[in-house]
Amino acid sequence: MEKELGIMHINKDLILKYNQPGPRYTSYPPANYFHTDISVEDYKNAIIKSNNDYPQGISLYVHIPFCPVLCHFCGCNTSGSKNLDLFRSYIDAVKKEINNVADLLDHNRKVLQIHWGGGTPNSIPLDMVKEIMDLFMDRFELDAHPEIAMECSPAYLELEHIDQLAAQGFNRLSLGIQDFNNDVLRIVNRLPSKLPVEALVKRMKENGFEGVNFDLIYGLPGQTVESFRKSIEKVIEISPDRLATFSYAHVPWVKKAQSVLEKTGIPNAEEKLALMETAYALLTENGYIPIGIDHYAKPEDKLSKALVNKKLHRNFQGYCTRETTGQVYGFGSSSIAQLDNGYFQNTKSIKDYIVSINKNGWAVERGYQVNKNEKVIRTVINEVMCNLFVDFHKVGLMYGMDADEVKQIVAYNTNKLSPFLADNLLEINKEQLKINDDSSFVVRNIAMTFDPQLNIIENRYSKTI
């Protein structure tokens, strides 16, 4: 049954057909391929090597694993803490880690992006944020227009905080809205915004913030098409530059706290699809451009322009443009350094992180060193996930090989692609593969066909919808 919805032509049967578990490919290989056979020496060598690898820019990521109250749905690495002594020891450890990484980096490389995530970075005293920002300014050379962003929970955000963050150099804020419906927020144990979100956004604009992002989640208990429509209408009214509507990832085998939501009743795949359709239709009718999976941006936003120019990129912090993607150096517990030559993740335990940094200056625990073939696969999967387009010839040119060799490395198999061709989701023209308009819901499925290591184990991944 084909249904017309705004500019979207959505085929529900196809979406449900392709609703399978699979990696989200925030990185390739995905984080669940990481292993513990990685040493601090490997990480240090990778940092030194990254000084010479493409791309030359630097992105800095700071993880703050604290939230005053924990939401039942949360899939992030965080803890429910308001302990100022713990914050102090943690920030001191982060500063040590920053100094150790900075010692190994080439200081001619410019910082393009600084991202604060969590947890809830705006729940710690902003003086502590300033200590780290001052250290960044001291130890690194910033680009003329770096993107400096923080993920904030509006439950703890005051207008003066926005002024203070602006004074520290922040120019982008992401507000975790999740839903504007207070009944839904109550069910998931989340506090609503302390101040009207309109007032927060107004203050950001007054402070010259270039980017305002909202995060929403669909598929939470208590959400109905009607209630979610109202939330999306409110988003459109406030008009952020970008927003994400994440599909609720229910993974109680990893995040036990999520099990409590099963008692209230979690929307099933068809109900989730109806929520997704509602958001997609309203947002696209109102001028937002869908970006990759789950994201939207205004047409004048850098991400929309990058999509048109096939220059969209992705890292653990979200979508970005090729110009703003540096190699990512992560600081704090659970943070991941995302380098061209590999991934290095710190221990997830806050206590172990502090002890390890204080003892030997480093806290890396897991990771993955990426070989040349895996870089080729990563490029192909990134093109599918971000730009919905792959030119195998062009990918080959990047690695000094021809299109056939690229195809061999990604185990290109026409049989695996034929269901997508038969369902008119994909076009293949010589060495180019193009995912059709309104078919972005299958990008994960198509990316999976190019992942020769993929071994789907039941319950290991969340589903597409």
Ligand X SMILES: C[S@@+](CC[C@H](N)C(=O)[O-])C[C@H]1O[C@@H](n2cnc3c(N)ncnc32)[C@H](O)[C@@H]1O
For ligand X (CB under 6 A), the number of binding residues is 18
Q: Which is nearer to ligand SF4, 11 or 79 (CB)?
A: 79
Query: By CB under 6 A, which span of 66-74, 265-273, 350-358, 374-382 interacts with ligand X?
Result: 66-74
Site string for ligand SF4, 160-179 (x = CB under 6 A): ----------------x---
Task: In angstroms, give the least distance from the CB of 236 to ligand X.
Answer: 18
Distances (CA, A) of 398 to 339, 394, 401: 17, 7, 8
- 248, interface contact from ligand X, ligand SF4, none, CB < 5-8 Å by kind: ligand X
Amino acid (one-letter) located at 7: I
How far is the C-alpha of 305 from the C-alpha of 3, rounded, in Å?
29
- 70, interface contact from ligand X, ligand SF4, none, CB < 5-8 Å by kind: ligand SF4
How far is the C-alpha of 388 from the C-alpha of 402, rounded, in Å?
21
Phi, psi of 128, deg, nearest 5: -70, -35
- 249, interface contact from ligand X, ligand SF4, none, CB < 5-8 Å by kind: ligand X
Q: Does 218 bind ligand X (CB under 6 A)?
A: no
Q: Which is nearer to ligand X, 21 or 75 (CB)?
A: 75
Distances (CA, A) of 293 to 98, 310, 443, 444: 32, 15, 8, 9
How far is the C-alpha of 392 from the C-alpha of 404, rounded, in Å?
8
Q: Which is nearer to ligand SF4, 258 or 347 (CB)?
A: 258
Query: By CB under 6 A, which span of 70-78, 105-113, 299-307, 382-390 interacts with ligand X?
Result: 70-78
How far is the C-alpha of 90 from the C-alpha of 347, rounded, in Å?
13
For ligand SF4 (CB under 6 A), the number of binding residues is 11
CB 312 within 8 A of CB 306: yes
Q: Does 401 bind ligand X (CB under 6 A)?
A: no
Q: Does 124 bind ligand X (CB under 6 A)?
A: no
How far is the C-alpha of 41 from the C-alpha of 35, rounded, in Å?
15
Q: Does 87 bind ligand X (CB under 6 A)?
A: no
Query: By CB under 6 A, which span of 7-15, 31-39, 69-77, 439-447 interacts with ligand X?
Result: 69-77
What tokens were used for 199?
A: 């007032």
Could you report how far apart the first and last alpha carbons of the chain are, in Å? 18
How far is the C-alpha of 140 from the C-alpha of 142, rounded, in Å?
6
CB 438 within 8 A of CB 464: no
Q: Under rule CB under 6 A, which residues in 245-274 are in contact with ligand X?
A: 246, 248-249
Exactly one of 27, 81, 153, 193 binds ligand SF4 (CB under 6 A); that residue is 153
Exactly one of 14, 70, 142, 260 binds ligand SF4 (CB under 6 A); that residue is 70
How far is the C-alpha of 152 from the C-alpha of 122, rounded, in Å?
6
Query: By CB under 6 A, which span of 111-119, 228-236, 267-275, 324-332 interacts with ligand X?
Result: 111-119
Q: Which is nearer to ligand SF4, 153 or 223 (CB)?
A: 153
Q: Does 249 bind ligand SF4 (CB under 6 A)?
A: no
Q: Specify the residue for token string 């990771």.
A: 367
Q: Does 71 bind ligand SF4 (CB under 6 A)?
A: yes
Site string for ligand SF4, 382-421 (x = CB under 6 A): ----------------------------------------
Query: By CB under 6 A, which span of 67-75, 85-93, 270-278, 453-461 interacts with ligand SF4?
Result: 67-75
Q: Which is nearer to ligand SF4, 153 or 247 (CB)?
A: 153
Q: Under rule CB under 6 A, which residues in 73-112 are in contact with ligand SF4?
A: 74, 76, 78
CB 380 within 8 A of CB 390: yes
How far is the C-alpha of 341 from the C-alpha of 262, rounded, in Å?
41
Q: Which is nearer to ligand SF4, 66 or 412 (CB)?
A: 66
Task: In angstroms, give the least distance from the CB of 74 to ligand SF4.
Answer: 3
Exactly one of 30, 65, 176, 326 binds ligand X (CB under 6 A); that residue is 176
Give the residue closest to ligand X by C-beta: 176
Exactly one of 119, 222, 326, 367 binds ligand SF4 (CB under 6 A); that residue is 119
Q: Does 117 bind ligand SF4 (CB under 6 A)?
A: no
Tell me which long-range contacts 251-260 makes (C-beta under 8 A, separation of at least 24). 251/75, 251/462, 253/459, 254/75, 255/74, 255/75, 257/70, 257/72, 257/74, 258/72, 258/73, 258/74, 258/75, 260/72
* Interface residue list for ligand X (CB under 6 A): 67, 73-76, 117-120, 151, 153, 176, 178, 215, 217, 246, 248-249
* Interface residue list for ligand SF4 (CB under 6 A): 67, 70-71, 74, 76, 78, 118-120, 153, 176
